[in-house]
A = this chain, B = another copy of it.
Amino acid sequence: MKEEIMQLKEQVVELLENKQYSNLHDYIDKLNSQDISIMFEELSKEDMIRVFRLLSKDEAAEVFSYMESDLQEDLINLLTDKELKNIVDELYMDDTVDLIEEMPSNVVKRILNGVNQKDRKLINELLNYPEDSAGSIMTTEFVDLKMNMTVDEAFTKIRKIALDKETVYTCYVLDTRRKIVGIVGVKDLLIAQPDVVIKDIMETNIVTVNTLDDQEEVVKKFDKYDFIALPVVDKEDRLVGIVTVDDAIDVLQEENTEDFEIMAGITPSEDSYFKTSIFKHAKNRILWLLLLMISSSITGSIIIHYEEAFAALPLLVAFVPMLMDTGGNCGSQSSTMIIRGMATDEIKLKDYFKAVWKEIRISVIVGIILSIANGIRIVVQYNDLQIAIVVGITLILTVIFSKFLGCSLPMLAKKLKLDPAIMAAPLITTIVDSCSIFIYFQIAIAIMRI
């Protein structure tokens, strides 16, 4: 993929150097907007603006909307006010809002200067939706129809406004108070006779989200129902925007990345890996590391508490890493299954006892197998049946306990309206560690009388 872009770049630079602007114009005209935006990252600023000015008005806006925000900023600083206005005019409303959110205030000022009164009001409204809400990711451009329009009239309306709308394939039927009363797809319009009234072919069973709903809710609805757009309504049930499926995919990826990061004990960040400074990376990681370091020191203190036991039998210490790692891995397996199950809506809070009961039965099976495997190893390696029994019992208890925690803590977090992903491997590992080491030495003392 990357090589193709490098080839494009070389071709473009060559045409630029030879001042073959007409050829260059024809060449870039054939390219994908996305590919051009990626190529721009490889060009010098001077070359970028020269190429950009060769793009047609709508192509320029499209390329612009795909660019990374730092590159957008560079480009804006090179554009005249008139050129900037042209681009902003062509941008879809949600892309304009995204742009304003990313830019420093002097750039925002220049952008808003070129926007008319009505759009500026709308932009302000959109900017006020909470981060990660349906309102913040929706676009306000959609096709609205009326119930008593005919199919023919509907097509006339769609034709008239299609150019400016991101998607026209789902049309929304509104009543006089802008409440949504039906949905009709262009496919249904195509199949219907021209004189049929919209009311008779529209689908009245409508799935909507509220402007304040979390974007995760939006994505779940896209996952469940196979939509290409989802209507967003305000508190009075009036249609205010739609979320398109391509934005839903972006959100889905973003939410998944966030879960991966939180589950690895990283403060999530929306910036990309290479564009984040090492200090920011360090900051995102250090908090959890410090927290977990302190809690794992408790495990250390527990070990020291049993100094006499392992002074009498140093071999005891040899099984500490295995018990810690196995407990951590078992807990991590369970918490991952539960966190993921809740994220995809398969596991619900009311399933708690069902899930715990399942995890306990699984952990008994897993624990027994591990104990036997480990017992054989200990007897063969150290010829010490007593230690094999101590380690075996501890192992079974550790596995059960860690899988119980791995199942319970994420669901507890959800119950407390926290992100279940917090209760993942790192945290569970440290808790399980202390407990398994405590159990281990207690059992050792009891059985081996040391």
Bound complex: CA of A111 vs CA of B260, how far in Å?
Answer: 41
A2: which B residues are within 8 A, CB to CB? Answer: 348, 350
Contacting pair B329 A292 (CB below 8 A): yes
Residues of B contacting A190 in the complex (Cβ-Cβ under 8 angstroms): 155, 158-159, 162, 168, 186
Task: Give A298's nearest chain B residue, CB to CB.
Answer: B321
Find residues 373-394 in chain A having any chain B CB closer than 8 Å to their own CB: 373-374, 377
Q: Are A204 and B425 in contact (CB under 8 A)?
A: no
Once A191-B163, A289-B370 are accepted as A-B contacts, the answer to whether A257 and B325 lie under 8 Å apart by CB is: no
Whether, in the assembled complex, A426 has its beta carbon less than 8 Å from a beta carbon of chain B, the answer is yes
A34-B224, A366-B286 in contact; A296/B278 too (CB < 8 A)? no
A114 to nearest B CB, angstroms? Answer: 25
**What distance in Å separates the Cβ of A409 from its nearest Cβ neighbour in chain B?**
15
Chain B residues whose CB sits within 8 angstroms of the CB of A270 once the complex forms: none
Residue A32, interface by CB 8 Å: yes
A148 within 8 A of B: no
Task: Please list the residues of chain A having a beta carbon within 8 angstroms of any beta carbon in chain B.
Answer: 1-2, 30-32, 34, 155, 158-159, 162-163, 167-169, 186-187, 190-191, 204-205, 207, 222-228, 244-246, 248-250, 252-253, 256-257, 259-261, 263-266, 272-274, 278-279, 281-282, 285-286, 288-290, 292-294, 296-297, 299-301, 303-304, 307, 310-311, 314-315, 317-322, 324-326, 328-330, 332-333, 335-341, 344-348, 350-351, 354-355, 358, 361-362, 365-366, 369-370, 373-374, 377, 425-426, 429-430, 433, 437
**Contact status B260-A260, CB under 8 Å:** yes
A437 and B321 in contact, given A169-B186, A333-B266, A362-B285 (Cβ under 8 angstroms): yes
Contacts of A272 in B (CB 8 A): 341, 346
User: Does B289 contact A366, Cβ atoms closer than 8 Å?
Assistant: yes
Pull 25 A–B residue pairs with CB atoms less than 8 Å apart, ordered by A: A32-B207, A32-B225, A169-B169, A169-B186, A186-B190, A248-B249, A253-B344, A257-B344, A260-B340, A264-B329, A273-B337, A273-B358, A278-B365, A285-B366, A286-B370, A289-B329, A289-B366, A293-B373, A296-B321, A299-B325, A310-B314, A311-B314, A317-B320, A320-B320, A328-B429
- Are A322 and B299 CB-contacts (below 8 A) given A226-B246, A290-B370, A336-B266? yes
Nearest-neighbor residue (CB-CB) of A305 within chain B: B318
A345 to B206, alpha carbons, bound, how many Å? 36
Q: Kindly list chain B residues whose C-beta atoms are within 8 Å of the C-beta of A279.
A: 365
Residue of B nearest to A426 (CB): B329
| Cα A108 to Cα B75 with chains together (Å) | 59
A426 vs B263: C-alpha distance when bound (angstroms):
13
Closest to A159 in B: B190
Across the interface, A249 reaches (CB within 8 A) one of B32, B252, B261, B341, namely B252
Partner of A299, one of B159, B265, B321, B341: B321
A221 to B: closest C-beta gap in Å: 9
